[in-house]
Structure 1
């Protein structure tokens, strides 16, 4: 615990002691010496030179100095109250959501973007560990506004120095109406020599102000930079603030632009008092007060009029006491409500959430729709040549159908043509030219950029960048993977086509294999329609008719058989005409199965390319979108009770 300094007015020197610290001397523990030993210490001291000097100092001290020492002593002797925000309160839920939000966002957002939220969490944790019985209210204002005079009027004693010299207040001065506020004042870095208690009787006896800790701040427009820094530091830590303005500086741009406008969301813990109304003649005070309310409304600060929540605005004269009683009454109700700290923390969370809104709230409904996914799959299928592969498979099917159902003379001619070109059966498919491979790679890159832009459309900047990076990183090996996929499909097509050409004659009319397009069937034969055996038998019958008719005619010519050219000629003609007719019929009947086979080959290659793109690009992009939705839900939880969860 921070040490407290008790100043001895008679000697002009101070002694620093740690509260509750025990020491060992000659094997016997004792309490560290302190002026409050007779009140709250376990073992007191009442002899020795130091004790007699301290007693003389207390007898000779002025009432103000005595109140200062008693305040420091009693603050040190009282325990602090911890964790005043209940676990089920809306503020606790918002703080937990903000903590989760910061944790989920650290890997995606800059540290500067989360700095304010982190500060709010730290300050909330620090305030929740301290007394819930006290309300810390700061009095702030410009030089010459009379804030120190108002501080003394509320305390009922001349505690803060006033005068014409500027700046008069150089360090924060605190006055606590009750004990146990040491931790709060330590947090504000108010030294022990500047901690006071109100004058006994009068203000000190006001029950409504029990629990109030009033802090007089330096001038916010002081020429000394250190004074302004102290004002900014303390204003970020107190539970409420009383802004004191005077008729000359109530419209000062420094006050409105630097403090009131940025703190407009803290209206419920803000008091704005127009001091020195005794200097305004007639109804001038009402006119100035109306203009002050107008300026506050332009600042965005809600005014608590007609029972509505908002800032309290009232006129007074700290010098004559006019209106001070009303302010004291309002402060009493405010302190006894004991919700100022919770309201202040809730307003801080609101301010942090408002600053984070641009990095969490998207325009529209971002994400990957079904149409974007289909367009990405279409672009990959185009890059891998799925349509061309399907057309090639259809042509090969029809070619194999022609080989299986064609006339023997046509098959014999094809065999002769194949025999004239050695190695044509085992020839591998030609690789795509480098220009075509380059074009396909560019198509893949374009498809990735397009789907990344579609997914990132409407997202806040950091999350849109994360989505694009996930897409680009996942697509680094996608063109090579698609090239390998297309190569496997082309190799399978070449193997099956060669096997079909080589074995069509040997199988006696059975269908050759068509390209599998990555189906994984190897070099096996494609499925055949049920009518193919009948077509093959019909072609065999037509061939037998030709042979039978030819032998019959040959027998008649050489005289082995009786002459009668008409019948064998008709039989032979039927075989000659019937063979091409069967081949033509088979070709017509094969169009439908060939088309379906080509479509199936295209579909398999398209699905393989889409699966590759989904695993490498769409899944990482979807993961980033899911992460964004998670933090978006946390952000909604932070802002859910921003107006009603106080």
Structure 2
């Protein structure tokens, strides 16, 4: 049960006193203890309890097995069908999947829970370790002695009385658990058992008396926090004067509210309260626990057990002994304790796993990203250029010879420097296009991480930025290939500019493949040739009549020549009208191809890495859901 302290989190098991050493670092007489333990007829203790019992109770102490008894255990650590095992597996997978994305400090508590679960699983499942904790003067040592039936822990007016944890085990085989708590052999005791049914119910109990949690000695508080992080359950002893102490509620009870099912809160020294004052104080204690968020186990509901007693007079101690007996015989304290630890670790991890919305890349975000890349690469301008190229070719093929001659003459009058200036876009256009690409990447990353927890949002942004490196250059190369490929966009030197930002800094190519000619073009060309021949024929006919070679008759040759003159532009106009639809479709096809190519480039470099990070987040999110799935019903 991890306690929040002023100095930091609870220490691990290796930070307490080593077995065989006193709290001040001195060596304990371990060799003598081992000899006493091996001596026939001697029990697990160091002889102190046996000597006191021999002077008070005229009965022979039962012979105890060695404390390191390793006989096979019938019960498994995690009962069959318990949800704790899959939750631990899910937490282990969650930590493994998250190491590359989360900070080590975020996963520290989850790692500690996994380590403690593995350590506890290797130890005895027949024992339940219960710590008795409280403030100075609360009477916890007196209660410890009353439950043990002997004077084990020193109790008195001197403060602090308990300077190191003292353990009392009702059965053998708890050596591993006590080693884990770093309780030396000289501080391990056995209770005085009378052989009653109450004592039989406590078989398997390991009771630990802790130093005062409000002790002036910092080392005492550190030992309390260390042991509380390792025991299976805890009995908090409060007195009528300090039951509302802020240090108790803020440092321990409130942070450990999720461990209510393995928590007992005992109001001691009720013999000092007159009349109904004990009930009033007990009700006020329940109110404070409720404000702390600690569920109370009343009316058969799971939660903390709250009762009042007097360790000095023995009033209510029997009830506590009975409750502890049932609690120990259930043999689920360790499982419930670890389940509460998993809940606490999951609650700490919630901000880094639970999104506030539904983050991801929707179709709308993908379409907008494609639109921005298409605008940056100049797909619309390329489509317009392709359409103009189609119509220009139609005009060349179906136009009258005289109009084509005029166009050639006009082209010779244009400066030759236009070819060179048309090959590259101005630096302002290049800068604007690069900025458009970067803006597109930032926008799609922001859409993808909307509501995503901080670490995973950062991972998605890094994937997008990393994939965007070299994307403008890739789009430029793509535009070059699109302009030079046969049957694709090819712009002449005389094409109109695409407009600011409509290109990525490269030209669409010059001279590449020509648009395909439709089947009706040869017929249109023949018709135009026929019209030209009529013009020539009519003209020659008229000239022949003028010079007297042919018989006069102006009407017929004039009509023939007029038919050629009118028919040529009419054929050209008809061809232009017929070419308008195919030219538009050809331009749209060119724009679509360049748009799809830009989208494929952006998808491979940006969208796919971003989607991979989102898939990874969904995987860890599923693992996190598995960790928290049985947090309230699986104990």
Q: Same fold (TM over 0.5)?
A: yes
Q: 1:540 is matched with which residue: 529, 544, 548?
A: 529
Question: Taking structure 2 as the reference length, what is the TM-score of the superposition?
Answer: 0.88
Rounded Cα–Cα distance in structure 2 between residues aligned with 1:172 and 1:203: 27
| Cα contact 2:18–2:182 (8 A) shared by 1 | no
Q: 1:98 is matched with which residue: 86, 91, 116?
A: 91
How many pairs does the alignment contain?
600
1:518, distance to aligned residue in structure 2 (A): 11
2:555 aligned with 1:578, yes or no? Answer: no
1:267, distance to aligned residue in structure 2 (A): 0.5
| Residues 134-533 of structure 1 mapped to structure 2, 5 A cutoff | 134-201=127-194, 206-418=199-411, 429-490=422-483, 496=490, 523-533=512-522
Alignment partner of 1:272: what SS?
strand
Alignment partner of 1:164: what SS?
coil
| Cα contact 2:391–2:583 (8 A) shared by 1 | yes
| Cα contact 1:466–1:624 (8 A) shared by 2 | yes
Rounded Cα–Cα distance in structure 2 between residues aligned with 1:13 and 1:486: 83
Change (3 A) 1:70 1:540: farther
2:614 aligned with 1:612, yes or no? Answer: no
Change (3 A) 1:118 1:13: closer
1:600, distance to aligned residue in structure 2 (A): 1.1
2:549 aligned with 1:560, yes or no? Answer: yes
1:74, distance to aligned residue in structure 2 (A): 2.2
Alignment partner of 1:140: what SS?
strand
1:90, distance to aligned residue in structure 2 (A): 1.0
1:204, distance to aligned residue in structure 2 (A): 9.4
| Cα contact 1:36–1:73 (8 A) shared by 2 | no
| Residues 114-133 of structure 1 mapped to structure 2, 5 A cutoff | 114-133=107-126
Rounded Cα–Cα distance in structure 1 between residues aligned with 2:489 and 2:509: 13
1:159, distance to aligned residue in structure 2 (A): 0.9
Alignment partner of 2:68: what SS?
helix
Rounded Cα–Cα distance in structure 2 between residues aligned with 1:262 and 1:381: 55
Give 2:9's aligned residue: none
| Cα contact 1:159–1:196 (8 A) shared by 2 | yes
Change (3 A) 1:303 1:518: farther
| Cα contact 2:391–2:579 (8 A) shared by 1 | yes
Alignment root-mean-square deviation, CA:
3.4
Rounded Cα–Cα distance in structure 2 between residues aligned with 1:614 and 1:431: 27
| Cα contact 2:49–2:190 (8 A) shared by 1 | no
| Cα contact 2:235–2:263 (8 A) shared by 1 | yes
1:415, distance to aligned residue in structure 2 (A): 3.8
Gaps of 5+ in 2: 1-16, 496-505
Rounded Cα–Cα distance in structure 2 between residues aligned with 1:72 and 1:474: 70
CA deviations 1:162-211 (Å, max 9, x no partner) are 10000000000111001100000000011100111111425797111010
1:330, distance to aligned residue in structure 2 (A): 0.6
Q: 1:16 is matched with which residue: 31, 55, 68?
A: 31
Rounded Cα–Cα distance in structure 2 between residues aligned with 1:498 and 1:436: 19
Q: 2:38 is matched with which residue: 28, 33, 36?
A: 36
Give 1:48's aligned residue: none
CA deviations 1:225-246 (Å, max 9, x no partner) are 0000000000010000000000
Change (3 A) 1:482 1:40: farther
Change (3 A) 1:613 1:366: same
Alignment partner of 2:107: what SS?
helix
Rounded Cα–Cα distance in structure 2 between residues aligned with 1:142 and 1:156: 22
Rounded Cα–Cα distance in structure 2 between residues aligned with 1:225 and 1:293: 30
Give 2:8's aligned residue: none
1:520, distance to aligned residue in structure 2 (A): 12
1:557, distance to aligned residue in structure 2 (A): 2.1
Alignment partner of 1:210: what SS?
coil
| Cα contact 1:405–1:586 (8 A) shared by 2 | yes
Change (3 A) 1:593 1:214: same
Rounded Cα–Cα distance in structure 1 between residues aligned with 2:361 and 2:378: 25
1:262, distance to aligned residue in structure 2 (A): 0.4
Does 1 or 2 have the higher relative contact order (CA < 8 Å, sep 6+)? 2
1:446, distance to aligned residue in structure 2 (A): 0.9
Rounded Cα–Cα distance in structure 2 between residues aligned with 1:257 and 1:176: 31
Change (3 A) 1:521 1:322: farther
CA deviations 1:24-65 (Å, max 9, x no partner) are xxxxxxxxx663254799xxxxxxxxxxxx9x9899944489
| Cα contact 1:78–1:179 (8 A) shared by 2 | no
| Cα contact 2:483–2:508 (8 A) shared by 1 | no
1:597, distance to aligned residue in structure 2 (A): 1.1
1:248, distance to aligned residue in structure 2 (A): 0.2
Rounded Cα–Cα distance in structure 2 between residues aligned with 1:235 and 1:179: 22
Give 1:511's aligned residue: none
Change (3 A) 1:3 1:61: farther
Change (3 A) 1:13 1:457: closer
CA deviations 1:338-376 (Å, max 9, x no partner) are 000000000000000000000000011011111011111
2:616 aligned with 1:627, yes or no? Answer: yes
Alignment partner of 2:105: what SS?
helix
Rounded Cα–Cα distance in structure 1 between residues aligned with 2:18 and 2:68: 9
Rounded Cα–Cα distance in structure 1 between residues aligned with 2:210 and 2:54: 19
Alignment partner of 1:572: what SS?
helix
Rounded Cα–Cα distance in structure 1 between residues aligned with 2:436 and 2:283: 67
| Cα contact 2:491–2:511 (8 A) shared by 1 | no
CA deviations 1:578-625 (Å, max 9, x no partner) are 000111111112111111111111111111111111111111111111
Give 1:509's aligned residue: none
